[in-house]
């Protein structure tokens, strides 16, 4: 296949992935090529079964246009969502739907020299168990906490390996293209492409979890900063509390607002005799503990509500700074903790009322994610497709890709 023809095919596939069903005219406009050329390429994709005609678009008064979409099983993506304690692996179809249950397992990243080899083996096992052939997998997208240089494929906080990059290490063993990025950046990418920040020119996406991450959408693009480290919202020095943060400093936002802090306060409160349905809260599995606290708060547990509200107020103080600096259209609350939903909005709004200039605060919406805990999984898949056109059509270390490439 001619190189230009391959590029046009990839461009059409990428736009259908991110936009959903489109007409031939819309595709022509998006890729900047003539309607006859796009029609020819599109017909080729239809003939091979990669693209399907989904019917006519709703009437707008003129001639109704045919809409085209990617066939659901045309290709697959391995999507990996990591945090400091828990890793999830999903194989998703081209509509971001997992083809089987998401693989979820404990994998501690702190001071764990075997973490990367364990991750690689688990990805391999997940692919094999899926029954999907490697030739139908576009690539592997991995979201992870820490200081991640997505271009070099290096995480300076976790998963360090001498004389190699994470993408080369995993790619050489699984023979698939590999892409990595910071977890909060990928959550922001998911919200921008498929969630509450879609079609927004400026958005701040807050990842509520073991820290308080931030992904920035500026000028309609994901902003990573000079070397990929933008968005360290968790380490804003907002408090004079002398509490040591994971970064080694004290008084960071994380020390008052993370879910780990909330878990610890619950445990200490129970010891002091606080009345709560969480008397038997187990901290052996912090992921489950966080979910138990949020569920208790949703059921009206006063102690759980109070602690989440205190954390929300602290987050709101940080949000006030973001609004003063960047004047965004929307602040999106996403990630694991966002399943607490509206419980966050009142305390954050209270903090904005107290700490933000009213004229600035009035122009920024506080929105809840519709993607929630799935955001990082979706963002990791989107990372692969963001780089889809850059792939040369060859697998890592010489293995060929699927015919669609």
pLDDT in tens, 360-372: 999 999 999 999 9
Residue 79: which of 71, 70, 89, 69 has the closest Cα?
89
Q: Which residues, including other chains, have CB under 8 Å from residue 33's CB and lie 6 or more apart?
A: 8
Q: How far apart are CA 371 and CA 210, in angstroms?
A: 18
Quick check: 402 pLDDT over 90?
no
What angle, 0 to 180 degrees and rounded to 10, lies between the N-to-C axes of helices 375-386 and 3-19?
Answer: 160
Contacts 24+ apart (CB under 8 A), 25-32: 25/65, 27/68
Count, residues in the chain: 405
Q: How far apart are CA 300 and CA 275, in angstroms?
A: 12
Q: How far apart are CA 249 and CA 236, in angstroms?
A: 10
Confidence label for 140 from pLDDT (cuts 50, 70 and 90): very high
Domains belonging to the chain, first-starting first, are 3-70 (1.10.10.10), 76-186+377-392 (3.30.420.40), 197-370 (3.30.420.40)
Quick check: 162 pLDDT over 60?
yes
Task: Please report, in angstroms and rounded to a whole number, the separation of the first and last CA atoms in the chain.
Answer: 10
pLDDT in tens, 213-257: 999 999 999 998 887 888 899 999 999 999 998 888 999 999 999
């Amino acid at each position: 296949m001619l190189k230009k023809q391959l590029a046009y095919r990839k461009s059409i596939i990428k736009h259908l992935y991110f936009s959903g069903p489109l007409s031939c005219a819309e595709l022509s406009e998006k890729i900047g090529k003539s309607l006859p050329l796009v029609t020819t390429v599109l017909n080729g994709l239809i003939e091979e079964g990669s693209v399907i005609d989904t019917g006519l678009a709703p009437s707008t008064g003129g001639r109704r246009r045919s809409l085209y979409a990617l066939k659901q099983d045309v290709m697959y993506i391995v999507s990996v969502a990591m945090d400091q304690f828990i890793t999830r692996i999903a194989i998703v179809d081209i509509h971001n739907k997992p083809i089987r249950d998401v693989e979820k397992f404990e994998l501690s990243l702190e001071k764990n020299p075997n973490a990367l080899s364990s991750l690689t083996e688990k990805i391999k096992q997940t692919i094999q168990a899926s029954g999907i052939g490697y030739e139908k997998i576009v690539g592997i997208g991995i979201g992870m906490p820490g200081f991640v240089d997505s271009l070099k494929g290096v995480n300076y906080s976790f998963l360090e390996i001498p004389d190699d990059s994470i993408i080369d290490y995993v790619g050489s063993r699984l023979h698939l293209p590999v892409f990595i990025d910071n977890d909060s950046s990928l959550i922001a990418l998911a919200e921008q492409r498929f969630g509450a920040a879609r079609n927004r020119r400026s958005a701040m996406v807050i990842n509520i979890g073991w820290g308080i991450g931030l992904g920035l959408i500026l000028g309609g693009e994901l902003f990573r900063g000079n070397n990929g480290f933008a968005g360290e919202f968790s380490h804003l020095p907002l408090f004079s509390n002398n509490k040591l943060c994971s970064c080694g400093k004290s008084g960071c936002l994380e020390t008052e607002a993370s879910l780990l802090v909330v878990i610890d306060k619950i445990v200490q409160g129970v010891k002091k005799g606080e009345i709560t349905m969480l008397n038997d809260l187990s901290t052996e599995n912090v992921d489950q503990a966080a979910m138990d606290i949020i569920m208790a708060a949703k059921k009206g547990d006063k102690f759980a509500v109070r602690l989440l509200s205190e954390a929300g107020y602290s987050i709101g103080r940080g949000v006030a700074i973001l609004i003063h600096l960047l004047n965004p259209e929307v602040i999106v609350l996403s990630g694991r903790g966002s399943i607490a939903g509206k419980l966050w909005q009142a305390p954050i709004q209270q903090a904005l009322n107290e700490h933000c200039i009213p004229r600035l605060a009035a122009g920024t919406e506080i929105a809840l994610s519709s993607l929630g805990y799935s955001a990082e999984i979706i963002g990791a898949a989107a990372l692969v497709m963001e780089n889809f056109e850059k792939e040369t059509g060859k697998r890592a270390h010489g293995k060929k890709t699927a015919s669609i490439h």
